[in-house]
Amino acid sequence: MFILDFDHTLYDTHLLSKSMKSVFLSYDILLDDFEKSYKLAIYGENGNYVNYTFERQLKILKKIGYSFDYNGVLDKLDALLEENRLFDDTIDFLEFIKNLGLKNILLTAGNDKFQKKKIEAVGISDYFDDIKFVHNGKEKLVKSFFSPQNKLFFINDNLQENLAVKNTVAEVEVLTKKNQYKNTEEELIKSGIPFFNNLTDIKKYVAGQV
Report the predicted TM-score, pTM, of the whole model to 2 decimal places: 0.96
DSSP assigned state of 133:
E
pLDDT at 110: 97
Contact 173, 209 (CB under 8 A): yes
Name every residue whose Cβ is closer than 8 Å to that of residue 168 and which is 6 or more positions away in sequence: 139, 140, 142, 143
Task: Using alpha carbons, list the distances in angstroms from residue 84 to 15, 51, 87, 124.
Answer: 11, 22, 9, 11
Interval 106-165: pLDDT, tens: 999 999 999 999 999 999 999 999 999 999 999 999 999 999 999 999 999 999 999 999
pLDDT at 94: 98
Contact 26, 34 (CB under 8 A): no
How many whole angstroms separate alpha carbon 41 and alpha carbon 131? 23
Contact 155, 202 (CB under 8 A): yes
Contact 131, 105 (CB under 8 A): yes
Phi-psi region of 53 (alpha: psi -120 to 50; beta: other; left: phi over 0): beta
